[in-house]
Amino acid sequence: MARRRAEDGRARPAHRQPWTVGADGLTVTVRLTPRAGRDSLDGVADGALRIRVAAPPVDGAANAALIAFVARLAGLARRDVRLTGGATGRIKRLHLATAEPGRVAERLQALFASAEPGAGPG
């Protein structure tokens, strides 16, 4: 992983993790691009998972597609993924409810570590 020097001289990761692990699940930050050709995971940038969905940003369609896509990536049911912030913006915050947040974090880590533009399940 690329490393940069922090102001105090210590090495730090080039990007911050796009999620935080809590006792009841994960909170994930996403940068969403609607009206893409297909749903895809495009890696990580600026501390957020970059995700594209084919749905337009009309009447919550892109948000619903995002929830379904992230649930599929994480191996969770759609009911376990909730939009908690950014309903009308590109930067979204999702809560993934799970009793095994470490397992889900490892699964996401493996997916985004190998993600190339256009990669993703489906």
What's 55's domain CATH number? 3.30.1200.10
Domain assignment present for 4: no
Q: What is the pTM of this model?
A: 0.81
What does residue 70 show for φ and ψ, rounded to 5 degrees?
-65, -40
Residues of the domain holding 82: 20-113
Domain total for the chain?
A: 1
67 with 86: CB under 8 angstroms? no
Any domain includes 48? yes
In-domain check, residue 74: yes
Rounded distance between C-alpha atoms, residue 114 and residue 78, angstroms: 24
- Whether residue 3 lies inside any domain: the answer is no
Q: What is the pLDDT of residue 3?
A: 47
Would 8 be classed as within a structural domain?
no
Q: Is the backbone of residue 121 left (phi > 0), alpha (psi -120 to 50) or beta?
A: beta
95-107 pLDDT, tens digit each: 999 999 999 999 9
**pLDDT, the chain, mean:** 87
Q: Is the pLDDT of residue 30 over 80?
A: yes
Residue 34 falls inside a structural domain: yes
